[in-house]
Amino acid sequence: MIYEIYRQLKSIAENEFGDIVTTTEIISSFSGRARKLRINIIDGTFVDIWYSVEEEYSFHWEQRGVRDAVYRHDNAPHRKWSAIKTFPKHCHNGTEQNVSESYISDEPEKAVREFLKIVREKLLKLEIYSK
């Protein structure tokens, strides 16, 4: 089930976001179980997408190796973010401690589109990408 989700998200990333995506890979454990989807971005950063059978998820854009930033939407119910309106959903914007509401969809296919659109917009603002 999780592998199928990653396969669908991989296809969306490659076919609909080829302007910002360089490669994609479903990363598996040593036992062969699909653990996450990695999407490499044109600026040398990457997005890791993780889903569990319990419907927990994380959309994580790792930028620390390029510009010391992180951007992540997830639904981990961390008690310290319980005041956030959309709790347990929340967004780490720039740093782990800068947290705000997350309105990303709970539907994986819609969520990957929303998240990669945000990545595209941020790349445009950083002048790393142009339409």
Cβ distance 13 to 29 under 8 Å? no
Domains of the chain by start residue, with CATH: 1-67+106-131 (3.10.450)
> Taking Cα atoms as reference points, which of 59, 65, 60, 71 lies closest to residue 106?
59
Q: Is 116 exposed, middle or buried (0-12, 13-18, 19+ CB in 10 A)?
A: buried
Segment 13-32 shows an average pLDDT of 96
Determine how β-strand 70-74 pairs with β-strand 57-62.
antiparallel
pLDDT tops 80 at residue 130: no
- The per-residue pLDDT for range 44-84, each reduced to its tens digit, is 999 999 999 899 999 999 999 899 999 999 999 999 999 99
Residue 104 and residue 42: Cα distance in Å, rounded? 23
**What is the pLDDT of the chain when averaged over all its residues?**
95
pLDDT for residue 9:
98
Global pTM reads 0.94
